Amino acid sequence: MAPEERKDLLRATARQVFADRGYAASGLAEIAERAGVNKRLVYYYYPQGRLELFTAVMAELTAELSTVVRAAVTAPVNTARKVERLVEALVGYFEEKPEAFTLLFKDPFGVREPEVVHGAVVAQAELAREVAKLFSSSGIPTMALIGITSGTLAYMLKVIDLEVAGELDHDTTVDCCLTCVLGVLSQVGGGAR
């Protein structure tokens, strides 16, 4: 197997192990066993071990999520339609990959390793940038934009968390997120352009 293929296999296997057991309860021995390789090989590709492997998984998930979100909001449509597309993309991504929500937005904050928390913050910042773009056309001051974006994103992530946990259905999740974002837009003057 080529080195990049081997790294991809290890990352994919680690992603599943971390999703099944969480970062703290996962070990390289289990990842190696599931991948069908020797533990030393994991260290060969990821010398910092579990930490490096987990942050690589988080970076991969963040890149996937960013691609999905950017595709949703770059269409030449009005702001209201961009909001709808953003919400559908977010909800759809996490419905398809619920482990991604856990690995990006839940598990990292229970870990006391700065690199892991940093990876989660990067993922949130990527999403915040796209939400801020939707609000930026309203002309609100920068500090207010930061606060409004952060609050709106936090709300959407909490609602999506409830859906991932099975407490909300798809339509309710989408409706709640749309109501929040469109309501905020109407209050800050962004309207549905």
Domain range for 150: 51-188
Cα diameter, the chain? 58
- 168: in domain: yes
Joined together, the tokens standing for residue 6 give 């081997």
Q: Tell me the C-alpha to C-alpha distance, in Å, between residue 136 and each of 63, 129, 152, 157.
A: 23, 10, 13, 20
How do residues 99-157 score in pLDDT, each as one tens digit? Answer: 999 999 988 888 888 898 888 899 999 999 988 888 887 778 888 889 999 999 999 99
Q: What percent of the chain has pLDDT over 90?
A: 63
CATH number for 69: 1.10.357.10
Instruction: Read off the pLDDT band of 193 (50, 70, 90).
Output: very low
- 122: in domain: yes
Q: What pTM, to 2 d.p., does this model score? A: 0.86
- 31: in domain: no
Query: 125, 64, 134, 55: which is closest to 93 by C-alpha?
Result: 64
Task: Give me the long-range contacts of 47-56 (CB less than 8 A, separation at least 24).
Answer: 50/23, 50/26, 51/113, 51/115, 51/116, 53/10, 53/11, 53/14, 53/28, 54/14, 54/18, 54/23, 54/116, 54/119, 55/115, 55/116, 55/119, 56/11, 56/14
- 82: in domain: yes
- 23: in domain: no
- 89: in domain: yes
Provide the 8-state DSSP code for 168: S
How do residues 68-108 score in pLDDT, each as one tens digit? Answer: 999 998 878 788 888 899 999 999 999 999 999 999 998 88
Residue 174 has pLDDT above 50, yes or no: yes
Structurally, the chain folds into a number of domains equal to 1
- 60: in domain: yes
